[in-house]
Amino acid sequence: MAERPEYLMGGEEARLIPTLPDSCREQKSASVLFAGMRAIHELRHALLKSIGVRVGTRAVLECWTEVVFRTKDKRDPPPKDRPDGLLVLRSGKKEWRALVEAKVGNEIIGEEQVTRYLQIAKQHKIDAVITITNQFVALPTHHPVRLSKTATKQVDLFHWSWAFVKTQCDLLKKNNSIEDESQTFILEEISHYFDSDRAGISRFDQMNAEWKDVVNKVKSKASLVKTSDEVQNTIGAWHQEQRDICLLMSARTGSVVSLRLKNEHRQDPGKRLKDEAAEFCKRPVLSCNLIIVNAAADLEVIADLERRMIYCSMRVTAPKDKKSTKARANWLLRQLKETTQTGFFIRAIRPGKAESTYIALDMVRETPELIESDNSNSTATAFEVVYEVDLAGKFSGRKVFIDELEKAIPYFYKQVGERLKAWTPPPPKIHNPKNESDQTDLGDSCN
């Protein structure tokens, strides 16, 4: 049993089976997670790596729950704030520490509480504050609470969603990343607990309260204001859903799926929200690009509020060793021979201002010549495979929209993404010599 740090006047070691009452759901879930991190190297490595903290094989992690810090003067009353956890990672003589605050269910962490914990961390020279809630962010370095840059000048601020934590457990299990049988058993028990209602963990399952009004405004061609709550909350909800999609696809594929973001948006989530809100008011679509390891291309997702449609697509370069668009299309069709026909389309993209052709997959299968353009002699240089979902009136349903979106994306990937391969040029060939005597002379010259 580890000795409690001297700067704490209260706190217990994290327990895998906490004996807290059922009303203390967040403390129980936090304790289970911390105990799992302490017991399983691969789990602590995966989670701490996401916030840029290296965990060596000899590093030791201490995890404390319900911590109370000592006051400078013993006569002072104990602090009212009790962070849910304190992580202490010891690597040789180096020590990294983080305060953790967890919320479950619909509870969210507010600006005031985050600010207080950052101040506590500064006061006790703690390196970071980590929050864990059911809120989603694009990256653990982003945070659902917007603070000034000066607030995190001396202390790093990170955020994990519970779904992100659960996905890391699932990936470790699915990929058989843990060799020790007892640790594998512990991980399975942790994952089982997180699946239960007792843990208070949930996924993002509906858009913001203003979603229906925003969809109806777009339909009636009413103007949207980029700084309005309805637009800001819609973009914020979409950002949460993007992250949930990544976690969903990571769990389905057994591989890490991430968002492709501009570097400026990766570094500044506030600018990302501002830029995308402005763009949304000009063109009312929500979009994202998913990076899937070893896939032929990014998986692009578009939700078009005007047409009330969902589009999933992947774009690949056409094979340059084929001369005609028809021949190049046949290369693509061979890959999609098992793909269901309904709802799938192929767009042949041509260079410059030459028009593209957009034809249903089943029609191209029957008559490949249809992919040719009547108005251009240019050969297609790329193909885009598109899956369309027309939601019509269901589009404005906050929960229905999310349900349909999260059905469409894995379905498209299974039908197309798993089968699609990027074209690569064939390897160069050795040209045959003009006659055998030339080959003999060449060999003799080496002697």
Residues 106 and 155 in one domain: yes
Q: Which residue do the tokens 């240019």 mark? A: 378
Q: Is residue 27 part of a domain?
A: yes
Q: Is residue 430 part of a domain?
A: no
Q: Is residue 432 part of a domain?
A: no
Handedness of CA 402, 173, 62, 11 (dihedral sign): positive
Q: Is residue 227 part of a domain?
A: yes
Asked if residues 301 and 405 have their Cβ atoms less than 8 Å apart, the reply is: yes
Q: Is residue 204 part of a domain?
A: no
Domain end: 140, 167, 199, which one? Answer: 199
> Exposed e or buried b for every residue in 281-307, given b needs 16+ CB within 10 A?
eeebbbbbebebeebbbbbbbebbbeb
Residues 162 and 223 in one domain: no
Q: Is residue 330 part of a domain?
A: yes
* Partner residues linked to 287 by β-bridges: 302
Q: Is residue 422 part of a domain?
A: no
Residues 257 and 183 in one domain: no
Q: Please return the burial class of 176, using the count of CB atoms within 10 Å of its CB with bins 0-12, 13-18 and 19+.
A: exposed
Residues 170 and 270 in one domain: no
Residues 22 and 77 in one domain: yes
Which residue pairs from 138-142 have beta carbons closer than 8 angstroms and sit at least 24 positions apart in sequence? 138/239, 138/242, 138/243, 138/259, 138/261, 138/266, 138/269, 138/272, 139/266, 140/50, 140/51, 140/164, 141/51, 141/52, 142/269
Residues 194 and 216 in one domain: no
Residues 175 and 222 in one domain: no
- Predicted TM-score of the model (pTM): 0.81
Residues 254 and 194 in one domain: no
SS3 label, residue 258: strand
DSSP run (H or E) holding 281: helix 269-282
Residues 81 and 224 in one domain: no
pLDDT (tens digit, 0 to 9) for every residue of the chain, 447 residues total?
A: 678 888 888 889 999 999 888 888 899 999 999 999 999 999 999 999 999 999 998 899 999 999 998 887 666 666 778 899 999 999 988 999 999 999 999 999 999 999 999 999 999 999 999 999 999 888 898 899 988 878 888 999 999 999 999 999 989 988 888 989 999 999 999 999 999 988 999 888 999 999 999 999 999 999 999 999 999 999 999 999 999 999 999 999 999 999 999 999 998 888 999 999 999 999 999 999 999 999 999 999 999 999 999 999 999 999 999 989 999 999 999 999 999 879 999 999 999 888 899 999 999 999 989 998 888 888 999 999 999 999 999 999 999 999 999 999 999 999 999 999 999 988 888 987 665 555 545 455 554
Distances (CA, A) of 239 to 128, 206, 282, 341, 344: 24, 12, 18, 31, 26
Residues 309 and 279 in one domain: yes
Domain end: 168, 199, 230, which one? Answer: 199
Residues 195 and 284 in one domain: no
Q: Is residue 367 part of a domain?
A: yes
* Token reading at 350: 């041509």
How many structural domains does the chain have? Answer: 2
SS3 label, residue 358: strand
Which residues constitute the domain of residue 92?
Answer: 8-199
Residues 221 and 136 in one domain: no
